[in-house]
Amino acid sequence: MRTIVHVSDLHFGRTKPLLEKALKAIIERRSPDLVIVSGDITQRATALQFHSAHKFFSSLPYPMLVVPGNHDVPLYSVWRRFFLPYTLYKRYISEELDPQYEDAEMLVVGVNTVRIFKIMEGRVSGKQIARVKALFAVALPGKIKILVSHHPFNIPVGHRKRPLAHARHFWKSQINTGIDIILSGHLHDTLGVYSDRAYKLSTPGPLLIQAGTAISTRNRKEANSINIITLSTSHIALDRYEYVQHKQTFTIKKTEFFVRQGKSWIRDIDRSRRTSRPCHGTGCEILSRRCELCDWQSELHIS
């Protein structure tokens, strides 16, 4: 069993200070095995903004995997944008633009989808597709395979943005790699989880999970939010946390369960149950979550 905190679009330079504190608190409370940041760490890729992000990330004592977003390369300085786009990112965040993380239960591969000439839409290259395929192909059986990008590999019907360039090529080549989850950001909408059916593939695709903006003032239609994912090879519980202003904290807005069925995942959204009771040991609240499809249960202590 692993716990992943998935945050995105922090936009340091346009953050709300109270939210930074609340985000740190909720991450520490869930004590994850890995924190994933799917891009747009800064607002305008300045040294000051990267420094703030670095300070925040350094305060978290957990492994991290971070990919750049379109806001993490300079916008107004054309010279820096074309010739030194990642200098500050590499100095303050990571030398690695396509990172990976592996432990006994999961393999997480990050892809940098930012392109100077396709700044809003993003792109995945043939070389990146080949790398993803090769890494997942040699993963030990039973490992959960997770891909991370800033720009989404698919967009829900009706959304005004488009999936990143070469997404169709990616889907075709990834059919047999058995990716379990793709985590992305960029839209500033959580949007729910949906499959890759838009590309009319013959085999079931991975779960696509979008995170909203974690701590920035750049909200679209929804409150600031993050995802916390508890997963094993057979189960996924996706907790969507939203920031509640009057409590000054992130609280669970919705939990969705997924159960593995063959190479795919079944959503158990309508049948998932949440109950809570006081925890007499610590004075906090115990949130019990049970998947009625398979009776899998988990408990969280929430202070």
CA atoms lying within 13 Å on the CB side of residue 301: 10
Query: Is 85 an interacting residue with respect to Fe ion (CB under 5 A)?
Result: no
Name 194's bridge partners. 208
Nearest to residue 68, comparing CAs of 96, 102, 106?
Answer: 96
* Residue 115 binds Fe ion, judged by CB under 5 A: no
| Residue whose CB is less far from Fe ion, 145 or 151 | 151
Q: Which is nearer to Fe ion, 13 or 69 (CB)?
A: 69
The contact mask relative to Fe ion for 173-212 (x = CB under 5 A, - = no) is -------------x--------------------------
Is the CB of 75 or the CB of 134 nearer to Fe ion?
75
38-63 burial by CB neighbour count: b if 16+ within 10 A, else e? Answer: bbbbbbbbbeebbebbbebbeeeebe
Residue 129 DSSP SS3: helix
Judged by beta carbon, residue 189 or residue 196, the one nearer Fe ion is 189
The reply on whether position 20 binds Fe ion by CB under 5 A is no
CA–CA separation, 159 and 121 (whole Å): 13
Report in angstroms how near the CB of residue 11 gets to Fe ion at its nearest: 6
Which of these ranges, 63-71, 170-178, 224-232, 266-274, lies near Fe ion under the rule CB under 5 A?
63-71
| Minimum CB distance to Fe ion, residue 35 (Å) | 18
Cα-flanking dihedrals φ and ψ of residue 81, to 5°? Answer: -60, -40
Q: Which is nearer to Fe ion, 177 or 219 (CB)?
A: 219
Q: Using CA atoms, how far apart are residues 225 and 32, in angstroms rounded to an integer?
A: 17
> Which of the stretches 34-42, 100-108, 152-160, 225-233 binds Fe ion when contact is defined by CB under 5 A?
34-42
Residue 276 pairs in a beta bridge with 287
Least distance (Å) between residue 157 CB and Fe ion: 21
- Does residue 40 belong to the site contacting Fe ion (CB under 5 A)? yes
| Minimum CB distance to Fe ion, residue 67 (Å) | 11
Helices (H), 138-263: 167-173
Indicate the residue among 89 and 136 with the shorter CB distance to Fe ion. Answer: 89
122 binds Fe ion per the rule CB under 5 A: no
Binding test (CB under 5 A) with Fe ion, winner from 13, 32, 68, 69: 69
The verdict on 70 binding Fe ion (CB under 5 A) reads: yes
Residues 6+ apart with CB under 8 A from 174: 129, 132, 133
Side by side, the strands of the sheet bearing 34-38 are 64-67, 34-38, 2-7, 225-231, 235-244, 249-261, 264-267
Q: How far apart are CA 187 and CA 9, in angstroms?
A: 9
How many binding residues for Fe ion (CB under 5 A)?
Answer: 5
**What residues line the site for Fe ion (CB under 5 A)?**
9, 40, 69-70, 186
